Amino acid sequence: MENANPTRLAVAATLHCLTGCAIGEVLGMVIGTALGWSDLATIALAVALAFVFGYALTVRPVLRSGLPLGRAIRVALVADTLSIAVMELVDNGVMLAVPGAMRAGLADPLFWGSLAGALAVAFVVTVPVNRALILRGRGHAVVHQHHHGEHHPTTPAAS
């Protein structure tokens, strides 16, 4: 990992984050919009689901590396919290900033275009965050240690 390009690693980490965030974000936005919820309730659901799916996509492979569930969860929390938070702040901010996006129905291209655009902007903003974390040995740098079996039972999961 020391010889890897930090920007390339940051892009990969952000794509990983985007996958979980997008699943939760889209699901939350669709549910909230379909049920006619307020903007706040819809965003709260979308954010909660983005964190759940984001963490789950990290925990699963870390568990496969042999870590017990508690440590795998700690690794995911340390690795993903800032990345998911930035992504969610940006993509929901964009959704709120696009006139009519939160009120557009599920059949309206404005809804889907705004959501796709918001996730794209969030990706661009989050890459430098993940790069900075990786350069400090944090974020997905910790997860990569576990993907490659480099964890040591006596060391903290995410020091």
pLDDT at 156: 40
Confidence of residue 154 (pLDDT cuts 50, 70, 90): very low
Please state the φ and ψ torsions of residue 146, each to the nearest 5 degrees: -80, -30
Rounded distance between C-alpha atoms, residue 72 and residue 67, angstroms: 6
For residue range 56-99, what is the model confidence (pLDDT) as tens digits? 998 998 898 888 999 989 988 988 999 999 999 999 999 999 99
The pTM score is 0.84
And the tokens for 145?
Answer: 């240690």
Instruction: Give dist(CA 147, CA 151) in Å, integer.
Output: 9
| pLDDT(137) > 90 | no
Q: Residue 58 class from Cβ within 10 Å (0-12 exposed, 13-18 middle, 19+ buried)? A: buried
Distance CA 30, CA 124 (A): 23
pLDDT tier for residue 142 given thresholds of 50, 70 and 90? low
Residue with structure tokens 């919290």? 81
Query: Quick one: pLDDT at residue 139?
Result: 74
pLDDT score, position 62: 87
